[in-house]
Chain A
Amino acid sequence: DAKTTQPTSMDCAEGRAANLPCNHSTISGNEYVYWYRQIHSQGPQYIIHGLKNNETNEMASLIITEDRKSSTLILPHATLRDTAVYYCIVRVGSSTLGRLYFGRGTQLTVWP
């Protein structure tokens, strides 16, 4: 699986959009971009994933550049409860290759 690079930490004011970048310059054509987050002392929570098109769900939006070498997770209206470590992971989307490898992630702190 391709390697990802994320900033160690970011902060954001409550109510503002949080934009979390991720570089994955060695991503392969069949690899998906996944985002998970881990709130302190809890198991990681799935947020969103995509292959090449932008994706949006009730939690967030995922913007993937045209060359797929980077992406941005957008939390449109951050709340204090969004304070967590956010992990960007790339992996083959096939169900036969199920392993997820976590990098260091980005510690997002949302302040009032």
Chain B
Amino acid sequence: SAVISQKPSRDICQRGTSLTIQCQVDSQVTMMFWYRQQPGQSLTLIATANQGSEATYESGFVIDKFPISRPNLTFSTLTVSNMSPEDSSIYLCSVDKGTAINGGYTFGSGTRLTVV
């Protein structure tokens, strides 16, 4: 399975500012995904990061708030813009290696964001 490096692991940010989270994979992957996990909740899919095109956002998430880049097949960034305390969550990057044989999905260790 793929190995994912996600940075930063945690941050405390002031409201109104923006934070960019990086996700680096040790091999080329077709699909990369960004999730949010609010305190005490399950994981919610934010968007699919597509290489060479705009990200595909899930209902309730918009590009202005969560711009995503995917410059190549091993890297993606998620920016949380104009943050408020409600954005305090764990943000996780995930990749699909494209096979059902071994489950396919690998998750990063997450970025714990606190907005004050």
B-contacting residues of A (Cβ < 8 Å)? 32, 34, 36, 38, 41-49, 85, 87, 93-95, 98-105
Contact = CB atoms under 8 A, between A and B. Distances in A.
A36 B109 CA distance: 14
A46 B110 contact: no
B42 interface: yes
B40 to A, nearest CB: 10
Interface residues of B, number: 28
B21 interface: no
Nearest to B106: A46
> By DSSP majority rule, is chain A's interface helix, strand, loop, or mixed?
loop
Q: Of A42, A48, A103, A104, which is in contact with the most chain B CB atoms at under 10 Å from its CB? A: A42
15 contacts: A36-B105, A38-B43, A43-B108, A43-B109, A44-B105, A45-B107, A46-B103, A85-B42, A94-B100, A95-B98, A95-B99, A98-B104, A99-B48, A102-B42, A105-B42
Given A43-B108, A102-B43, A102-B44, 8 more contacts: A41-B90, A43-B107, A46-B105, A49-B100, A95-B96, A95-B100, A100-B45, A100-B94
B75 interface: no
A45 B107 CA distance: 7
A80 to B, nearest CB: 21
Contacts of B44: 102
Nearest to A42: B109
B44 to A, nearest CB: 8
Contacts of B113: none
A85 B102 CA distance: 21
Contacts of A94: 100
A50 to B, nearest CB: 10
B47 to A, nearest CB: 10
A28 to B, nearest CB: 15
Given A32-B100, A46-B105, A49-B103, A98 B42 contact: no
A44 B95 CA distance: 12
Nearest to B95: A98
